[in-house]
Chains A and B, each alone.
Chain A
Amino acid sequence: MASGFTLWFTGLSGAGKSTLANRVQEVLLERGCKVEVLDGDVVRQNLSKGLGFSKEDRDTNIRRIGWVCHILTRNEVAAIAAAISPYRDIRDENRKLIGRFVEVYCKCDLETLKGRDPKGLYEKALRGEIANFTGVSDPYEAPLNPEVEIDTAAEDVETSLAKILTTLEAMGYIPVGDGRGYSAEEEETIKQRLRDLGYI
C-alpha cells in the first residue's frame, strides 16, 4: 500500500515552478513527510544529460522524471516534479503510471514572464537565438483539468502554497495540521473531553 504521491508542476520557464516546489518541500518536511524534488533544470544535468529540446527528447526527459516519481511514490515519498513538461499526452501518461498524481498548472502570461526573465532566455528566444523555446517557438499545451491552477502573475507565493496544501489535505495525501494549533471549535471540544474525564 503506497501513501506517497507525486506533485507535478507544469508551466512555462520562469512561471514559478521551482520556487513553489521548494516551498512545498519545506512545509511537507515540517509535517514529517519524506520528500524529493526533481527539478527539470537539475535533471537535465544528470538523469537526462545529453538530451536536447526536440519533441522526442523532451518526451524522453519527462518520461524519465515520471518513472522516478513513480518509484518514489510507491515507496511512500512525496515526489515533487518541477519541469516545463509542455506536452499534455506525456503528462497524462505519467498520471496513469503513477496513479497518486496531483497536477499543478503554474499559469503566467508571456508579458510577465518577459518582465521576469532572470536568465535572459525570453529575450534571446524572441530574437531567434534559442530554438524550440516553449511558449515562444515551441508549443505549450496547458492542462485541461489540473488539480490545482495557479496564476503566478497575480498571486503571491504563500497564496499559491496554501492552495496546493489545501488540495493535498483534501485528497488525504498529507496530514491535516498546520502547527498553529486547534481551531476555537476544536479547542472547545477538547476542553470538554478533558473536563469529562477530570483532566482539567
Chain B
Amino acid sequence: MRFGRREKRRACVVGLDGVPFGLLRRLAEKGVMPRTARIIAGGGLRQMKAALPPVSSVSWSSFMTGANPGEHGIFGFTDVDPATYQLRFPFFSDLAVPTFWDKLGERGLRCCIINQPATYPARQVPGALVAGFVAIELSKSVWPREHLPALERMGYRIDVDAKVARESPDKLLDDLDATHATRRRAMTYFWEREEWDYFQFVVTGTDRLHHFLWNAVVEESDSHHARAMAYYRAVDEAVGDLWDLFHAARSGDREGEGFFMLSDHGFTAVRQEVRLNAWLREQGYLSYRTDAPATVADIAPTTRAFALDPGRIYLNTKGRFPRGCVETGDAPALRDEIAKRLRALTYNGESVISHVFLRDDIYTGPRTALGPDLVALTHPGFDPKGTTKAREVFGSTHFQGMHTWEEAFVWSGVPVPEGPVIHDLAGAIGGWLS
C-alpha cells in the first residue's frame, strides 16, 4: 500500500457472510479463532439485526447504501415481473440509491472492495471493486478492468461450486480452501497496489459452509468438524492479517478505531423446509394453471397470494399485477387474514412462524410499494421457501443450515448505534472517515 503525504483516517471492514454472533464468540473462546478473540476481547462485539428478509442480497445492499429495501429497492435474490410473474434477478444497477462508497468518492476518498455480494455486474466505484455472489464472469466482476489480468493470473475464483457440495463434503471443503486462498492473494494484491481510504474484504465461504455443513461446524462429533474448524482458522488468519496490516499502516488512532467486522445474517440448523406456496394453496389462496408448476408464473388467475423466497408473500392485487384478482380495497383484510393464519401455523404442535411483518411496518421510502405485502420469519429449524414444485407444506432438505435475522454480528472500534441493524453501519463508517 502506498500512502499519501498527509495523515488521514482510514477504515477497514471485514465481512463474514452468514456468521452468527454466537458462533463467532464461541469459536473465539474455544481457540479456533485466536486472532479474532484478541480483537473482540476488549469489547465492541454486538449482536446485530440483518435486513428483512435476511438474505445476502438484501442485507449487503442495505449495508452498502445505509438504506432499507424501501429505499434501495432490493427485496431478494429474485423479483417478479408484474406483467408475466416471471422471475427476474436484480443486478447492481437496480440499486436505487448511491452506495456509501459513492458518497466517499464525492469527498475524494478511495475505496477498495473485494468479493462484495450483490454488486454484479461491477460498475464504476471510486477505487476498485471485485463483485461477489451472484457474479458469473470474472470479466464483468472487476472494476476497473485493468485489474482483470492480475486476478486471472492469480487464479481468482468468484465462488465455490455449490454443486460439488451435494456430491461430497470433502470436495466442498477443498473448494472452500482453494477459493479462500485465491481471495487472500487478491486481498494482498489490492492492499499493496491500491491507494485507499476504505478497504473491504468479504469472506463468503462461511455462508456456503453453513448451508451444506452446519452440523460439521457446530458438532464436534461430526466427521468433518476438524476440516470445518480448519477453514475457520484460515478465516481467522485473514482477519488477523488485515488487523495487523491496518494497524501497521495508520498512525495516531487508538487500537481498533476504523476497523469493523460484520456478518450480513445469522445461521442455524434446519430441521424442516416450510413451503409457503404449498401452504397458501392448502389454505385456498393459491392455485396453478398446470399440474407441474415451475414458478409463480404458473399461478391461476384466481390466485390471491403467492410467495417468493425466502418468506415474502405478495397479494395478487389489481393495479399492482395486471392479471391480479384482489381488489385494492380488499387487500388489507386479506393480508391480515393471511398473517393471522401464518402465525397459527404449527408442525407437530410446534409453532413455525416467529414474525409476520407488514410491508409498511418494515420498509420506508419510495420503493416500498415494490416490496412484498408480508415478510414471514420462522422459528429456528424451519426454513421458509418459495418453491412452487412442492405439494407438501413441510419437507426435508439436503441443506443443514438456514439464515436467521437477529443473530448477525458487528464488531467496531468506534461507536455504532444501540440495537444495531445492518443499514446503520454505513453511517458509522462514513462518520469515522469524516
Bind each other = yes
**A179 with B93: in contact, given A198-B385, A198-B399 (CB under 8 Å)?**
yes
Question: Which one of B55, B146, B386 lies within 8 Å of A1 (CB-CB)?
Answer: B146
Question: Which one of A34, A173, A193 lies within 8 Å of B134 (CB-CB)?
Answer: A193
Q: Which residue of A lies closest to B388 (CB)?
A: A200
The reply to whether B136 and A190 form a contact with Cβ atoms under 8 Å apart is yes
**A31 with B123: in contact, given A194-B77, A197-B208, A200-B309 (CB under 8 Å)?**
yes
| Complex-state Cα separation, A32 to B99, whole angstroms | 11
Residue from A76, A186, A199 with most neighbouring chain B CB atoms (10 Å): A199
| Complex-state Cα separation, A167 to B202, whole angstroms | 32
| Complex-state Cα separation, A181 to B93, whole angstroms | 10
- Taking CB atoms, residues of chain A closer than 8 Å to B143 are 3, 175
Residue from A190, A197, A198 with most neighbouring chain B CB atoms (10 Å): A198
Q: Is B78 an interface residue (CB 8 A)?
A: yes
* Those of A15-69 within 8 Å (CB) of chain B: 31-34
Q: Is B153 an interface residue (CB 8 A)?
A: no
| Complex-state Cα separation, A199 to B88, whole angstroms | 13
Q: Is A137 an interface residue (CB 8 A)?
A: no
| Chain B min CB distance to A90 (Å) | 27
Q: Is B163 an interface residue (CB 8 A)?
A: yes
Query: Digit string of A165-197 for contact with B (CB within 8 Å is 1, else 0)?
Result: 000000111111101011000110111011011
Q: Which residue of A lies closest to B273 (CB)?
A: A198
| Complex-state Cα separation, A76 to B133, whole angstroms | 26
Q: How large is the interface on A (under 10, 10 to 19, 20 to 34, 35 or more residues)?
A: 20 to 34
| Complex-state Cα separation, A131 to B352, whole angstroms | 85
The reply to whether B136 and A175 form a contact with Cβ atoms under 8 Å apart is no
Q: Is B126 an interface residue (CB 8 A)?
A: yes
The reply to whether A1 and B194 form a contact with Cβ atoms under 8 Å apart is yes
Query: Digit string of B177-220 for contact with A (CB within 8 Å is 1, else 0)?
Result: 00000000000000001110000000000001001000000000
**A31 with B93: in contact, given A175-B124, A194-B77, A199-B55 (CB under 8 Å)?**
yes
| Chain A min CB distance to B174 (Å) | 17
- Taking CB atoms, residues of chain A closer than 8 Å to B387 are 200
Q: Is B89 an interface residue (CB 8 A)?
A: yes
The reply to whether B124 and A31 form a contact with Cβ atoms under 8 Å apart is yes
| Chain B min CB distance to A84 (Å) | 30
**A189 with B136: in contact, given A181-B91, A199-B77, A199-B309 (CB under 8 Å)?**
yes
Q: Which residue of A lies closest to B142 (CB)?
A: A172
- Taking CB atoms, residues of chain A closer than 8 Å to B134 are 190, 193-194
Query: Digit string of B382-419 for contact with A (CB within 8 Å is 1, else 0)?
Result: 01011100000000010100000000000000000000
Q: Is B343 an interface residue (CB 8 A)?
A: no
| Complex-state Cα separation, A189 to B154, whole angstroms | 24
The reply to whether A3 and B148 form a contact with Cβ atoms under 8 Å apart is no
The reply to whether A196 and B121 form a contact with Cβ atoms under 8 Å apart is no
| Complex-state Cα separation, A198 to B92, whole angstroms | 21
The reply to whether A187 and B162 form a contact with Cβ atoms under 8 Å apart is no
Q: How large is the interface on B (under 10, 10 to 19, 20 to 34, 35 or more residues)?
A: 35 or more
The reply to whether A197 and B162 form a contact with Cβ atoms under 8 Å apart is yes
| Complex-state Cα separation, A179 to B146, whole angstroms | 23
| Complex-state Cα separation, A199 to B91, whole angstroms | 16
| Chain B min CB distance to A6 (Å) | 15
- Taking CB atoms, residues of chain A closer than 8 Å to B195 are 1
- Taking CB atoms, residues of chain A closer than 8 Å to B89 are 181-182, 187, 190-191, 194
Q: Is B87 an interface residue (CB 8 A)?
A: yes
The reply to whether B121 and A193 form a contact with Cβ atoms under 8 Å apart is no
Q: Is B233 an interface residue (CB 8 A)?
A: no
Q: Which residue of A lies closest to B165 (CB)?
A: A196
The reply to whether B162 and A175 form a contact with Cβ atoms under 8 Å apart is no
| Chain B min CB distance to A179 (Å) | 6
* Those of B270-321 within 8 Å (CB) of chain A: 309-310
| Complex-state Cα separation, A172 to B137, whole angstroms | 14
**A76 with B77: in contact, given A32-B93, A193-B133, A198-B399 (CB under 8 Å)?**
no
Q: Is B338 an interface residue (CB 8 A)?
A: no
The reply to whether B91 and A177 form a contact with Cβ atoms under 8 Å apart is yes
Question: Which one of B126, B139, B163, B211 lies within 8 Å of A198 (CB-CB)?
Answer: B211
Q: Is B225 an interface residue (CB 8 A)?
A: no
Q: Is B24 an interface residue (CB 8 A)?
A: no
Q: Which residue of B lies closest to A186 (CB)?
A: B136
**A3 with B144: in contact, given A175-B121, A199-B77 (CB under 8 Å)?**
yes
The reply to whether B140 and A200 form a contact with Cβ atoms under 8 Å apart is no
The reply to whether A177 and B93 form a contact with Cβ atoms under 8 Å apart is yes
- Taking CB atoms, residues of chain B closer than 8 Å to A193 are 133-134, 136, 159, 162
| Complex-state Cα separation, A137 to B123, whole angstroms | 45
Q: Is B25 an interface residue (CB 8 A)?
A: no
Q: Is B122 an interface residue (CB 8 A)?
A: yes
| Complex-state Cα separation, A198 to B165, whole angstroms | 12
The reply to whether B121 and A177 form a contact with Cβ atoms under 8 Å apart is yes
The reply to whether B211 and A33 form a contact with Cβ atoms under 8 Å apart is no
- Taking CB atoms, residues of chain A closer than 8 Å to B162 are 193, 196-197
The 8 residue pairs across chains A and B that have the minimum distance between CB atoms: A172-B145, A196-B162, A3-B144, A175-B123, A177-B121, A32-B123, A199-B77, A190-B89
B interface residues (Cβ-Cβ under 8 A, vs A): 55, 77-78, 87-89, 91-93, 102, 121-124, 126, 133-134, 136, 139-140, 143-146, 148, 159, 162-163, 165-166, 193-195, 208, 211, 309-310, 383, 385-387, 397, 399
Interface pairs (7), CB distance under 8 Å: A32-B102, A175-B121, A175-B123, A177-B123, A194-B77, A194-B89, A196-B166
